[in-house]
Amino acid sequence: MEEDTGALPRKESFSEWYNEILWRAEIMDVRYPVKGLYVWYPHGFGIRKRAYGILRDLMDRDHAETMFPLLIPKTEFMKEAEHIKGFEDEVYWVTHGGRNELDVPLALRPTSETAIYPMYALWIRSHTDLPLKLYQVVNTFRYETKHTRPLIRLREITSFKEAHTVHASWEEAAAQVEVALGLYKEFYDTLRVPVILSRRPDWDKFPGADYTIAVDTIMPDGKTLQIGTVHMLGDHFSRTYAITYEDANGEQQYGYQTCYGISERSIAAVVSVHGDDKGLVLPPAVAPIEIVVVPIIVGKRRDEVLASATALESELRDAGFAVKLDARDMRPGAKYYHWEMRGVPLRVEVGPRDVDANTVVAVTRTGKKTTLDRRGVVEGITSVLSTFGEDLSQAARQAMAARITAVATLEETAEAVKSGVAVVHWCGSQECAEKIEAAVDASIIGSDIRSDLIAVSDGPCVVCGGEGRSALVARTY
RNA sequence: GGGGCAGUAGGGUAGCCUGGUCCAUCCUAGAGCGUUUGGGACGCUUUGACGGCAGUUCGAAUCUGCCCUGCCCCA
């Protein structure tokens, strides 16, 4: 792993900035020799580990974790016609075992509905088995033909958290969709990433779903990134896979299902939303190192300062912080740059002056400097870190708000989507959506918008003038 | 899916058209030694590459073919 030095490209050149920060901050190494597959550096994986720990804790409230196989027999995979159509061009097939051709080819899961639901059919017998709510965190494979991008568009999604639920009625399933959206909202609140929820147009929903609610954020270049989806499957799959239960009256009924997922795009969002010209900026909740202690070692007082820094490190570790003492033989400035690139939320400096005054100097990743009393340092740091996290949320919200524009004409829409998201009135027809796309080089991505940054209203469709309601128009990743 | 450009050490470049001590050069890269240390220190020594596979040739970073990988534009 190379030492980072020199300036990062400015964040305004987002694409360049993104590519470079991934290796400079040691998140992903893109040099793996297969297109669309990338390697997690330990630091990047540490971020993933903490983020997915949060996600697992949220899921575990109301779901059980499980693990299904990677390979799906073609016979099961091909059962659900609409679903296949949505994925058939992207599936990797295993056709051989050693030198022998397989009787039934095996698909590398692009998503696991067709692996899980045949088993659900076996597991579910009675209404007392419902609701069933399971999830797994697995890798999935999609033969992407568009340009691949680390963490964003992958041929191997390494961190797909997918949940699959079964309920006794359509209404219960629909209620679960709302529960899932609540969990995802909470997840992204913890990551300090602001999101917009909206309902995808019918032609853009998950193959085989009744409807899809998406969770999007807005990237620094104004394009939206879908960082979560929740699908109402209705009884579509349960009819195909014969997921039935006996109700209280002894009648056989089909189950109603939902599924929802989050991938490492969540990490891409954290990196992109918070990062700045100096590197990564991590919310304390996902930082593998929350605090770095930098001893300012000068000549004769070296041992004294080092002892003080070491004692501070232990005290902070005992208090439950992820803390690292950087005692390397380098100039302090070089260390500051090193940890700033990697997004460490808080740096604590201990030098001879601090030893004398019985203080420490705490500097947040965004440059807020506080001198703390050495006694009661845990309380002081807890408070500094919590304020830092809240400040990140606020800054991210403001940045997002600045990229959202309510517009009334196609000309204004075209202008708005160059740097962000436009909110238009739209009648809901595919015909008008296509006209918008043709006119403004961006698409209708959702209606039924839910965001406290967007005021939803009725109004005349921006294309046909018919009755319309607020919808999002954006360029997307 | 269609078109274009590219791949040389950890990173950045030159050399290619016009094959031949050209295995070059730069860096805030790596290793070692010493002096340093409150915002990217300095000196000396040293390491390391022509994307892969075939072909042409006495000889290939350079020419030919295929493949892989990356970037940009269009759909």
Domain extent listing, chain A: 14-274, 289-386, 404-474
**CA-CA distance, A36 to A287, in Å (whole number)?**
26
Task: Select from A226, A255, A230 the least CA-distant residue to A163.
Answer: A230
Task: Select from A402, A392, A476, A401 the least CA-distant residue to A441.
Answer: A476
**Which nucleotide is closest to the Cα of A349 by its C1'?**
B38
A6 touches strand B (CB under 7 A): yes
A296 touches strand B (CB under 7 A): yes
- A436 burial via Cβ count (<10 Å: 0-12, 13-18, 19+): buried
- Quick check: do A289-386 and A404-474 share a fold? no
**Gap from A457 CA to B21 C1', Å:** 78
Residue A306 burial (CB count, 10 A): 15
**Gap from A419 CA to B50 C1', Å:** 42
Residues 332-361 of A with CB under 7 A from strand B: 332-334, 336-338, 340-341, 349-354, 361
**CA-CA distance, A427 to A416, in Å (whole number)?**
20
Q: One digit per residue, pLDDT tens: chain A, 477 residues?
A: 344 456 788 888 888 889 889 989 999 999 888 999 999 999 999 999 999 999 999 999 999 999 999 999 999 999 988 888 889 889 999 999 888 899 999 999 999 999 999 999 999 999 999 999 999 999 999 999 888 999 999 999 999 999 999 999 999 999 999 999 999 999 999 999 999 999 999 999 999 999 999 999 999 999 999 999 999 999 999 999 999 999 999 999 999 999 999 999 999 999 999 999 999 999 999 999 999 999 998 777 889 999 999 999 999 999 999 999 999 989 999 999 999 999 999 999 999 999 999 999 999 999 999 999 999 999 999 999 999 999 999 999 999 999 999 999 999 999 999 999 999 999 999 999 999 999 998 999 999 999 999 999 999 999 999 999 999 999 999
**Gap from A267 CA to B38 C1', Å:** 34
A303 touches strand B (CB under 7 A): no
pLDDT of A2 = 40
A295 touches strand B (CB under 7 A): no
- Which of chain B's bases lie under 7 Å from a protein CB? 1, 10-11, 27-30, 36-41, 68-72, 75
Q: What CATH architecture is A404-474?
A: 2-Layer Sandwich (3.30)
Residues 28-67 of A with CB under 7 A from strand B: 30-31, 33-36
**CA-CA distance, A174 to A247, in Å (whole number)?**
19
**CA-CA distance, A288 to A251, in Å (whole number)?**
53
A328 touches strand B (CB under 7 A): no
**Gap from A344 CA to B46 C1', Å:** 34
**Which nucleotide is closest to the Cα of A1 by its C1'?**
B10
Q: What CATH architecture is A14-274?
A: 2-Layer Sandwich (3.30)
Task: Select from A292, A268, A293, A272 the least CA-distant residue to A281.
Answer: A272
- C-alpha pair distances (Å), A218 with each of A268, A274, A402, A416: 11, 12, 10, 13
**Gap from A143 CA to B34 C1', Å:** 55
Residues 135-164 of A with CB under 7 A from strand B: 145-149
Strands (E), A237-368: 244-246, 252-254, 256-262, 291-295, 323-325, 346-350, 359-364
Cβ atoms of residues A150 and A270 within 8 Å: no
pLDDT of A3 = 44
Runs of H (alpha helix) within A275-376: 302-318, 332-341, 352-357
Cβ atoms of residues A474 and A417 within 8 Å: yes
**CA-CA distance, A167 to A117, in Å (whole number)?**
13
Cβ atoms of residues A219 and A14 within 8 Å: yes
Residue A451 burial (CB count, 10 A): 18
pLDDT of A5 = 53
Domain at A289-386, CATH class: alpha beta
**Which nucleotide is closest to the Cα of A295 by its C1'?**
B38
**CA-CA distance, A78 to A86, in Å (whole number)?**
11
